[in-house]
Amino acid sequence: MSTAANAEEDLSDVERAGLELIRRTDGIHQSDFWKELDVDSRKGSRIIDALEDEGLVEREETVYNGHNTYHITPVRDPRDLEFSLLMAGDMLSPFVGDEEVDGQSDAFSHWIMNLAYEEY
């Protein structure tokens, strides 16, 4: 598997259009994918296979409109993730990594206060 940037350079025009569709919709069912691209289902499957082989998309089995299909989602580069929503000033949310949330905890209250002060 090549890097995402190199993989994208090697895509055909229709593969690039397919990848942009998947990114723009933040995921699409395979049955809608090929209709949106105006290609037949066989060609749509080959496009998704190529994108998946390059590590640009992920495919997950699902049921959609009563039929078995796949949901195709773009693979995100971790460097593009937005972590500011977890921050209050320079404090990371006290719930990151916790399975149970205690809304009455001092850590949460302190974090919320920092968030409120940051707003005003």
Question: Highest mean pLDDT: which of 1-15, 63-77, 95-109?
Answer: 63-77
Residues of the chain with CATH 1.10.10.10: 4-77
Q: pTM score, two decimals?
A: 0.62
> For residue 23, what is the enclosing H or E element?
helix 13-25
Q: What share of the chain is helix, strand, coil (3-state, %, to 5)?
A: 50, 20, 30
Q: Rounded CA gap, 68 and 66, in Å?
A: 7
CATH number for the domain formed by residue range(s) 4-77? 1.10.10.10
Q: What pLDDT is stored for residue 14 in this prediction?
A: 94
User: Confidence class of residue 1 from pLDDT cuts 50, 70 and 90?
Assistant: very low
* pLDDT tens digit sequence for 21-39: 999 999 999 989 999 999 9
Quick one: 56 exposed, middle or buried, by C-beta within 10 A (0-12, 13-18, 19+)?
buried
Q: Give the chain's mean pLDDT.
A: 84
> For residue 15, what is the enclosing H or E element?
helix 13-25
